[in-house]
Structure 1
Amino acid sequence: MEAKKRNQSCKETIIPYLPYGVVTGILSKLPVKSLLRLRCVCKSWLNLVSAPQFITTHLHQSITNLSIEKLHIIIARCDFHDHRLYKFNLAAEKIDHILEIKSHPKLKFIGSSNGLVCFTYAGGSLFLYNLSTRVYKEIKPYGDFRYFDDRYKHGFGYDHSTDDYKVVKEDKDGFYVYSLRSDSWKKVVQHFPYHGLAVASGTLLNGALHWLLLDTIWMEPLAIVAFDLIDEKFREIPLPDFSTSAFKSELSRVKLLGGCLCILPLPHTGHEFLIMKKYGVKQSWTKVEIKAPYHRFMEPLALFYNDEALLLIDFVELVLYNTREGTCRNFVLQGMPDTNTKTFVVKAAYMESLVSPIMGGESKAISRIK
């Protein structure tokens, strides 16, 4: 009893003497897992860590100081009887969270932004889920449309102008946008104003989602189309000049790499990539080659300041490649069930955050969605 009183006295006398700015600065540099534990230290720290301003500060720290230690990987299990999302910790090289989805195997990954993951399954409701805090929000479909069909464009991203997260979806009847802040859907255009097939979800950069549209017969690039999440209008990004290159027929999708738009080749076709070093400038498209050993498929997931690139090999293997020294290091997926690796697919690089999918309401932490 005496020791308990001393500990309580210690908390009441030491913590209040730490300047607020000092406490904020120290805590903002800690990983999410540590912050979730520190919320239990005292009420003032709970209020601090839960405050919107602190969540924004912590997110900014993570973005500006991105390293391999802060990056996680989202892995989906594509088993007919069971679907799960795994969060793989690159620093510890182990699975540190599993989200079970029991009721239907048809899971579709829509995208991730600032620590929130957007996905749907069974063609029904959407879910926004923070894999670190384990807080989720279910988004009901709008009207009669339910399915996120591969024939239609879709994506998920952050609108910094209104501090809002938005889901976009094309349907045969128009193009729709969901706003998390207003918790509502709206139609923005009657029809998608471009022709072509997009084989991947929209890639977020500079407040807009980007799709590489391909000819449905020859599968050659037609255009890069961006949907601005702020003014909710479409614009076109210039393609590279393909007049003297056979590379055109090998391109399949646009991704984000090192803060730049990157056009990736089709699986099994090579290790050359096109990067737009200056956004919106056609002349800035540059061909980049990564000469890392690989088998049938390779995709760069992230570039780091120390000349390292995180590569995805054959959809399931993760490799850290040093572009300057030409050395490789494989990550072992510890914690994965002992099963056929073909049932697991790496979906995206993921950065932890405290961002909540709930705006202005109570939330619930879970590890399973039924």
Structure 2
Amino acid sequence: MDDFPPYLPQEIIVNILKRLPVKSLIRFQCVCKHWKHLIKSSYFVSEHLHHSSLQNPCLLFQREMSGDPFILHLLDSRLQVRELQNDFWCAQIVGSSNGLLCIGMGKYILSPLSFLLWNPAIREVRQVPINDFERASAVGFGFSPIINDYKVVRITIGILKSRVDVYSLNTGLWKEINFGKLKDLSFCSNAVTANGTLFWRAFDVKDLDEISVKSLGSDFDLIVSFDIAMELFTLIPEPAIDPDSSAHLVVCENKLAMLCLTFDSFLIDLWVMEEEGTSEFGKRWSWTKKHTIITSSGMLFPSVIWRNEIVCKSDEVVWTSIWGIQYATTILPLLNLSTHKLKKLAIEGCATVYSRIFNHVESLVPVSSIPIEEPSS
């Protein structure tokens, strides 16, 4: 009989471990030095993140009540809800990317006193230094796979002075960059990030050339994009949406998209943007209406896309009585993009109509900028 202990190849160990939740992997670092080094390696962190993003996507609910404690609930892929414990007050989520949350500390998201980078799954927090900035017009947070870096973007457009400041997680420094075409823009949305680019909605453009004006239409609504790797801004026309609809930016299959709700007809449209190469005037973009869903009620407010479904906000609740005490269970409406059918989930602890909703994934990504090398086989 062979006296050697059982052996599993490295690739099989990785394939098994990457399917486990973060909480288990943190405990398994105590098994041996090799496992500890493996689980902390950039290679395994990337493998685990890729698997979790596809198989275990989550939703974050942040209650919008200014001045209150920072209240977060997480809905996992098994439809279980739990509260994420923290000690933050007067905070707002700027963005969520690969398990990292950028938190703006202060009552108002556009004028935070400071920023934090936080991975709630591994309980790591990093304070982002901040200079004496003026009140911001827009902020954003995202990741570029091209340069493997996370960046915080802070845009300030003032009467006398305008500036754009970018913080890099890799360098740990802020730097001011050219704001280019941003003069005279007014930002009117929170940022979303897709495929290494940040996007905001904006309006009231005054400095576009004649060609750009013709392409944007009569109301001049547009989208501002920021390439995180190149640190360049681009202005993109919005789709031809109903002027009476309520619209906001989302991400669909890692592409920029827009959800539009028309109140009088109870229609929800999903537009997806495609990049069509470049021309002499720069990149060319096109919008395609992928879905039009007829809903039975005007009280469904589309928020994000999650697992091939449109997550809606709703004020619908179900009341139950236990030993004479009334308990409210929130109803979370989901519109399936394939069947267009409405499904309602009963979830505990999340008042969805009063919450901002974010796509999220639990990951091992550290908030430190120091990478750990891939383990040797």
Q: Fold match, TM over 0.5? A: yes
Deviations 1:34-66 (A, max 9, x none): 322322222221111111111012122233xx2
Answer yes or no: is 1:239 the counterpart of 2:238. Answer: yes
Measured in 2, the distance between the counterparts of 1:187 and 1:83 equals 30
TM-score by length of 1: 0.77
How large is the RMSD of aligned CA atoms in angstroms?
3.1
* Partners of 1:235 and 1:289 in 2: CA distance: 28
**8 Å Cα contact 2:96-2:360 kept in structure 1:** yes
**8 Å CA contact 2:75, 2:82 repeated in 1:** yes
| 1:175-214 map, 5 Å | 175-189=164-178, 193-214=182-203
Q: Given the superposition, is the C-alpha separation of residues 323 and 228 from structure 1 closer, same or farther in structure 2, using an over 3 Å criterion? A: closer
TM-score, normalisation: structure 2? 0.76
1:21 is aligned to 2:11: yes
Q: Measure, in 2, the Cα distance between the counterparts of 1:100 and 1:74.
A: 17
Are the structure 2 counterparts of residues 294 and 110 from structure 1 closer, same or farther at C-alpha, using a change threshold of 3 Å? farther
Q: What is residue 46 of structure 2 aligned with on the other side?
A: 56
Offset from partner CA, 1:323-365 (integer Å, 9 cap, x none): 444543333333x28xxx4894133011111101112299xxx
Match of residue 140 from structure 1? 129
The yes-or-no answer on 1:153 pairing with 2:138 is: yes
Q: Give the 5 Å matches for 1:1-370.
A: 13-14=5-6, 17-63=7-53, 66-67=54-55, 70-79=56-65, 80-95=67-82, 97-101=84-88, 104-105=89-90, 107-122=91-106, 123-142=112-131, 144-145=132-133, 147=135, 149=136, 152-171=137-156, 172=158, 173-189=162-178, 193-215=182-204, 220=219, 222-240=221-239, 242=240, 247-265=242-260, 270-280=266-276, 282-286=285-289, 288-304=291-307, 308-314=308-314, 317-334=331-348, 336=349, 341=351, 344-360=354-370
Residue 292 to residue 121, structure 1, CA distance change in 2 (3 Å): same
Distance 1:61 1:89, change over 3 A: closer
Q: Once the two structures are superposed, what CA deviation does each residue of 1:155-209 show, in whole Å capped at 9, x if it has no partner?
A: 1011222211000011133011000110000010256525433232222123211
- Counterparts in 2 of 1:47 and 1:342: CA distance versus 1, 3 Å: closer
Secondary structure, counterpart of 1:62 in structure 2: helix
Cα distance between partner residues in 2 of 1:321 and 1:252: 17
Deviation at 1:266, TM superposition (A): 6.2
CA distance 1:258–1:284, shift in 2 (3 Å): same
Distance, in Å, in 2 between the alignment partners of 1:348 and 1:267 is 22
For residue 367 of structure 1, what is the aligned residue in structure 2? none
Change (3 A) 1:188 1:266: farther
Per-residue CA deviation, residues 62-121 of structure 1 (Å, 9 max, x unaligned), is 33xx24xx12221223343423222232414221523232xx43x222111111011112
Q: Using the alignment, how far apart are the partners of 1:52 and 1:208 within structure 2? A: 22
Identify, as 1 or 2, the structure richer in strand. Answer: 2
Change (3 A) 1:180 1:321: same
- Residue matched to 2:215: none
Q: 1:276 to 1:190 in 2, by over 3 A?
A: closer
Q: How has the CA–CA distance of structure 1 residues 285 and 326 changed in structure 2, closer, same or farther, with 3 Å as cutoff?
A: closer
Give, in whole Å, the separation in 2 of the partners of 1:61 and 1:96: 23
Q: 1:283 to 1:128 in 2, by over 3 A?
A: closer
Distance 1:271 1:354, change over 3 A: farther
Letter in 1 for 2:311: L
- Residues in 2 aligned to 1:223 and 1:323: alpha-carbon distance in whole angstroms: 26
The one-letter amino acid paired with 2:170 is R
Q: Which moved more, 1:263-272 or 1:195-204?
A: 263-272
Moved more, 231-240 or 109-118: 231-240
CA distance, structure 2, for counterparts of residue 120 and residue 239 of structure 1: 28
Q: Distance in 1 between matches of 2:63 and 2:286?
A: 40
Please tell me whether the aligned partners of residues 273 and 289 of structure 1 are also in contact (alpha carbons under 8 angstroms): yes
C-alpha separation in 1, matches of 2:227 and 2:28: 38
In 2: Cα distance, 1:40 partner to 1:194 partner: 54
**Where do 5+ consecutive residues of structure 1 fail to align?**
1-11, 363-370
Decide whether the 8 Å contact of 1:110 with 1:154 is kept in 2. Answer: yes
The sequence identity of aligned pairs, in percent, is 25
Task: Assess, with a 3 A threshold, how the Cα gap between structure 1 residues 76 and 30 changes in structure 2: closer, same or farther.
Answer: same
